[in-house]
Each structure stands twice: as structure tokens, then as C-alpha cells.
Amino acid sequence: MRHGYTARQVRDAEAPHLAAGEPLMARAALGLAAAVRDVLTGRTRVLLLVGSGNNGGDALFAGAHLAASGCDVRIIEVGSRVHEAALADAVAAGARVSPAEDAAELAAASDVVVDGILGTGAAASPALRGRGREVVAAILPILEQADRPRVVAVDIPSGIHPDDGTVPDPVVLAADVTVTFGACKAGLLRGRAVALSGQVRVVPIGIEDDLARLTPAITVP
């Protein structure tokens, strides 16, 4: 059986660990980097789409691990801000920041595109907007080609609701793999999101026992 939890349940489970100073983002980034390596299968070109929230930080810290291991990592910032420490780590490891206008060209030249634009914090308004939507719209035609990059989503594919799986706007990067942290998000097991999430891979980050004491929002075979 697979259990899915709401964004609020996950945040509540994370809270005491964050208050205690546990490195939840570092654990998530290590798991994400490992999943991206599995998708790369010996290839090396990675494009990170980085939003303003924690998903962007996860993607950048994972990008630092990937760049340090020899991957060619490019970064496109699509949010109003960026996780500065994570960006510094990624750049120090050899990743390069590119302009949003180059998104389609870089995606076409990449082996993996990492979707770190929106996460569970966008539950109130999950549709992509602004630069993030423009970048994803530019990349979508690339994904229709035979020799296309694989897409790895960070926690959830950007643009889907993390709790109910609804997709309010068609501009969404369908993931080949979704790397979700601590537990599967309920929205990944519901509605249109199921077809957009690909293989769901849960990375333990230390909150699993806390979630096990809660009633899942959804349970599926």
C-alpha cells in the first residue's frame, strides 16, 4: 500500500526537526542527486530550473553534488529570489547560471531537466506564473522530440496541487521521476497528477516516524 500525506501534515512533521537544527534540506538534496544520477545513466548534462522556495534550494544543493562529481550543470533562476547558500555551493562546485531566454536551447542539449520551480508551499495557488511559466512553455516542445531530456521533479511536478492532484493550468512539465521527501504527497496519488508524476521515489529525511503516527490523507494499492 502507498500512503499520501498533505502538505500541512508534512510541514507539521518537519517542524520539530527544523527547530532542532536537523539538516533536512541537505538530506533531501543528497537523495535528489542520487536519483538524478540514476536517470543520467552515465550521461552528464543537467539543467536546473530553480524557483524561490525550498524546492529551488534542494535542486541547487543537489546540483552542487552533481557538479562536484563531474556533471555539466546549468542553472536557470525563475523565481523572484534564490536560496543564496545553495546557489553559492552549486557555483563553487562548477555549475553555471544561464539566462531564462536560453531555456529551450539548454533543455535540448541536456540529458536531465530538474524541475525545482514550485513545491508544496504553492498549494494555495499551484499554477505556474511569470518567468516560471514562460520557461516551462518554452521547454515543452523539446519534450515532444524523440531524443528528449528526462525530467526529474523535486517533491512534486510544478503546477500540480500537492493535496488533491488537480492541475489548474496545462503548462506543466510531466516528470519521468518525481523525487519526494519524507513521504509521498497526497496529490501525487490523485487525479491528473498521477499521469504527470512518473515514477515516484520517496527519499527519507528523518520525519518518517512522525508521519507514521498520522492518518494518511489517501492510501492506494
Which residue type occupies 24? L
Bridge partner residues of 45 (DSSP): 72
What pLDDT, on a 0 to 100 scale, did the predictor assign at position 124?
Answer: 77
What H or E segment, with its residue span, contains residue 32?
helix 24-40
Question: Sign of the C-alpha dihedral, residues 17, 127, 105, 150?
Answer: positive
- Give the three-class secondary structure for 207: coil
- The candidate with the shortest Cα–Cα distance to 78, out of 95, 46, 53, is 53
pTM of the model: 0.95
What count of other Cβ atoms lies within 10 Å of the Cβ of residue 219? Answer: 12
Which grid coordinates are listed for 125?
Answer: 495557488
Cα(59)–Cα(207) distance, integer angstroms: 20
3-class secondary-structure state, position 73: strand
Q: What is the pLDDT along the chain (221 residues), one digit of tens a residue?
A: 899 999 999 999 999 999 999 999 999 999 999 999 999 988 999 999 999 999 999 999 999 999 999 999 999 999 889 999 999 999 999 999 999 999 999 999 999 999 999 988 877 788 999 999 999 999 999 999 989 999 999 999 999 999 999 999 999 999 999 999 999 999 999 989 999 999 999 999 999 999 999 999 999 98
List the one residue out of 134, 154, 141 whose CA is nearest residue 203: 154
pLDDT of residue 149: 97
Q: Architecture of domain 2-220 in CATH?
A: 3-Layer(aba) Sandwich (3.40)
List the domain boundaries for the chain: 2-220
Burial of 192 (0-12, 13-18, 19+ CB in 10 A): middle
Decide: helix, strand or coil at residue 72: strand
User: How far is 105 from 149, CA to CA, in rounded Å?
Assistant: 12
